Structure 1
């Protein structure tokens, strides 16, 4: 577990520059374009189950080296924002996880089903031991929907943007960059003012043994 003094100095996000090469990015673009076309959607879930390349990417040592030891992947999504699919995302925290089935256990709820997958809000302590890696396949400046975050807002727990009047940071990224973030950090995305393609591979990782023993992750490692 992360020592308390390190947590207090953690901004809740980091940008890792140039993790993937231009050749690796281009291969992933081709793979992701095929998945998006097959799904007919700008948001494709369970991409590790649909692509051996993306399954291998989630377990690549370069990605795992960005995370605490022992973390394993538990969710995978492709976001494919285009000039035609140019939607804003309001300030929020990622408060739900996906599991195989609903089981009433203390601290978990409310429950919901989205796209056939069971979602639930877990205890806040579980979310503190998760990390998200957002792999950028395209230029993502402020004008093309770069993620905006409120540094250190993950330290407050469940909250709202209005409750934290701190300045935001715009996470501008280039192809091959990876944004690492806590699911509890407040984040948002504006509608693009100069829209172009913006493909993001979104992997969520969790520490071992944090899920209630009666539950199973929807996506196992």
Structure 2
């Protein structure tokens, strides 16, 4: 069960860049989510990436849309409304499955891109890429600051199976070049989360993950939310309101 006021979690995220909320989903809810993903997964699609180290589904809510009713329970909606009131929407959704033998790791980084419908030259938007028919761009800092990421954990996650490592409060420094950030003078924390819990974080928080060493699977649903409008020439490619 969520064990303290949700407003306290909002304050933690604003101050430290992250918060962990345990017990957002029951064991039965997690099992139903897992089964729905397995039932609907089709790795032949372009949005599915599969290797011995990682299985990922991009545009997850579009590809496995039947899972939405299971994900957005009353507790998660309450958490989101405390961040955004009722005007929020999904702007990115990814499913990550790190298998038991995974040697895949991610170095420290900030999440600096958003997914949009097309490429347009606009001041303040740079570093355009396209992958799997998906345009990505780095927007201005204000748009990034107003995104909230929620990671739903379908397995127990710790230092040994790829839990996120983060640098608390690093989001306060804005967009920072990795080679200029002084990691030696900042404390690193492993964000261990039990099955059914969530991690809430700001995209500008420095984060990383290690290789799996305990032969335990790690499945996470990564959802990004905003209520910011883009310039009229652009649209969020995955914009989706939650009923």
The total of aligned residue pairs comes to 215
> 172, 175, 181: which one pairs with 2:201?
181
* CA shift for structure 1 position 60: 4.0
Q: Are 1:197 and 2:197 matched, yes or no? A: no
> 192, 204, 207: which one pairs with 2:227?
207
Say what the alpha-carbon RMSD is for the aligned residues. Answer: 2.0
Tell me, in whole angstroms, the C-alpha distance in 2 between the residues paired with 1:36 and 1:28: 12
Q: What's 2:186 paired with?
A: 166
1:80-124 alpha-carbon deviations (Å, 9 max, x no partner): 000243301000000000001011111001111012100000001
Q: Equivalent residue of 2:79, what SS?
A: coil
Stretches of structure 1 lacking an aligned partner (at least 5 in a row): 1-5
1:74-153 superposed matches below 5 A: 74-153=91-170
Mean Cα deviation higher: 87-96 or 39-48: 39-48
> 31, 39, 43: which one pairs with 2:36?
31
1:45-60 superposed matches below 5 A: 45-57=58-70, 59-60=72-73
* CA shift for structure 1 position 53: 3.1
Tell me, in whole angstroms, the C-alpha distance in 2 between the residues paired with 1:217 and 1:9: 24
* CA shift for structure 1 position 166: 0.5
The answer (yes or no) to whether the contact 1:86–1:195 under 8 Å persists in 2 is no
Q: What's 2:237 paired with?
A: 218
Q: CA, structure 1 residues 8+144, in 2 after alignment: closer, same or farther (shift >3 Å)? A: closer
Q: What's 2:15 paired with?
A: 10
The answer (yes or no) to whether the contact 2:148–2:224 under 8 Å persists in 1 is yes
TM-score (norm 2): 0.82
* CA shift for structure 1 position 36: 4.7
The answer (yes or no) to whether the contact 2:162–2:210 under 8 Å persists in 1 is yes
Q: CA, structure 1 residues 61+217, in 2 after alignment: closer, same or farther (shift >3 Å)? A: farther
* CA shift for structure 1 position 40: 5.9
Tell me, in whole angstroms, the C-alpha distance in 2 between the residues paired with 1:86 and 1:37: 24
